[in-house]
Amino acid sequence: MREHDFGLVIHAHRAGHAAFTKNPLHGISMKVIAKVARIIGVDQLHVGTVVGKMSDTKEEVAESCEALTADMYGIKDVLPVASGGLYPGLVPALMGFFGKDFVIQAGGGIHGHPNGTVSGAIALRQAVDATLQGMPLKEYAKTHKELQEALNIWK
């Protein structure tokens, strides 16, 4: 896919992966899927998360992330995507695990904001900014209303 310059980000979702990654008696690991996605040229891939409603073990997620970024004969790295029940209050834990180079796929954690989608997106960005500054979210929220509203509903 990468050889065809579509001029677009190629996003890969792992929907249905559990049919062959979660059975201990047969199948393949998510790490293999991550490597295949990288080889075929995707730009970003859902790797699960270590917090939220669809969390995997830290080891599983770390293995997938490594498969996306480790040296692979010059093949371009892939950006990991964390998803599944994510909201602004989880940002410090997410960034503590993933670092700065990943995508936070927070659908309900943005659209479910009491003041709408725009406020939800602002709240998530505020959580990222606070975390980058090393400031606790509750402290940062004192001067950032969107984040405060998000912290009030998602605990």
Q: What is the pLDDT of residue 32?
A: 92
Q: What is the pLDDT of residue 37?
A: 94
Q: What is the pLDDT of residue 1?
A: 64
pLDDT digits (tens, 9 = 90+) for 117-137: 999 999 999 999 999 999 999
Residue 34 main-chain phi, psi, to 5 deg: -60, -45
Write out residues in the chain with pLDDT < 70, as ranges.
1-2, 54-55
Q: What is the pLDDT of residue 2?
A: 63
For the entire predicted model, the pTM comes to: 0.89
Q: What is the pLDDT of residue 106?
A: 95
Q: What is the pLDDT of residue 109?
A: 96
Domains of the chain: which residue ranges? Answer: 1-84, 106-155
Q: Which residues neighbour 45 within 8 Å (Cβ) at sequence distance 6 or greater?
A: 11, 12, 14, 34, 37, 38, 64, 68, 78, 79, 80, 81
Q: What is the pLDDT of residue 15?
A: 79
